[in-house]
Amino acid sequence: MEVLIAVGLSAFFFSAIAGLMMASNKSMESLYNSQKAIWRAQEGLGALQSMSFTDLSTTENGLVTYLAVNEGWTLGSGIQEWDDGQSREIVISEVERDNSCQIIESGGQVDPDTYQLESTVFWTGPTGIIHNRSLQSLVVNWEDPQGDCFRPTDAGGIQLDWSGGYWGGSKQLRGVWIINNTSRDITITKMTIWWNRPAAKLQQIFAIGTKVWSDSGPGTPGGLQTSGTVIDTLDAIIPAGFIDDTHKIQFTDAMDESTLIISFEFADGSILITDPFTP
């Protein structure tokens, strides 16, 4: 009787140890699967993020492929499968935003400059349970935004270069360059000029080859103006990609050695101000 109990206990003891060993092995296998899945899910996201925004499009079953000849990833359709039983699914979806450009689930405007990316790796565990690791991110068309949410302000798209400014005939400021770095037209609506020669008055402003203000019109206010007056000019359109070096700002007196600051206000209300400069 005692012998039978001893044999029974031994069998119970050893089968428990064997069970623990098997569980431990499965657990270790699961560790590798999980770690590989995270690396592969990250690869899916990283591949999409490394591509040009214009090469992305919405998909429910995206497949990314690395082409060594181009040293780049391309997007296709299908499911990526590996020999170890893991597979990867990539989903690219549109993003909706409200009027404040906040992302919302539904009911907003589709943002043409953002995609939601999701990269999920699946595998079947030893017990038949399907596991997955999923990573999500957003990608933004920062390079050439088309919608309003990521569109730079007018002022942000304009570059001023006053380093070559000079006085023509002592009274006319010339050589101030205005550069439209965007792919859209930008309109100057107002200008303010400060200078440190109080006796001199502002008489005329030419912008983009056109007289946009003078003491006798067009623009307001009328009459010769003092430093710091906000000038409501005729709308002066700076065409997309345009570089203008034809500015002429005329004063009543000789301005040699004067220091100026010029402020431009654009149609969207944004403002661009030069540093103080002495032409």
Partner 1 sequence: MIETVLYIGLIMILLPSIVLMLLEVQKNQAHTYSRMLIEQTSAILLSEFENELLDAYSIVSSSSTLNSDQSILVFKKVDGGLNYELSFETDVVVIGDIQHNIGRINFFDGSNHWLTPEQINVTVFRIEPARNSDGELTGLNIELELSPLAILSDEDRANILNTQTTLYLFPTVSEQ
Per-residue CA distances from 57 to 94, 149, 174, 222, 277 (Å): 9, 19, 48, 54, 48
Q: How many CB atoms lie within 10 A of CB 276?
A: 13
Binding residue (CB under 8 A) for partner 1 from 9, 16, 23, 38 = 38
Q: Furthest-apart CA pair in the chain: how many Å?
A: 125
Stretch that binds partner 1, among 18-26, 122-130, 156-164, 190-198 (CB under 8 A): 18-26
68 or 199, CB closer to partner 1?
A: 68
Would you count residue 88 as binding partner 1 (CB under 8 A)? no
> How far apart, in whole angstroms, are the C-alpha atoms of residue 8 and residue 256?
110
Would you count residue 12 as binding partner 1 (CB under 8 A)? no
Amino acid identity of residue 264, one-letter, is F
Binding residue (CB under 8 A) for partner 1 from 69, 71, 107, 199 = 71
Strands (E), 85-145: 87-97, 103-104, 109-124, 130-140
Binding residue (CB under 8 A) for partner 1 from 19, 39, 94, 276 = 39
Would you count residue 275 as binding partner 1 (CB under 8 A)? no
Q: Under the rule (CB under 8 A), what is the footprint of partner 1?
A: 2-3, 6-7, 10, 14, 17-18, 21, 24-25, 28, 31-32, 35-36, 38-40, 42-47, 49-52, 54-55, 66, 68, 70-73, 142-143
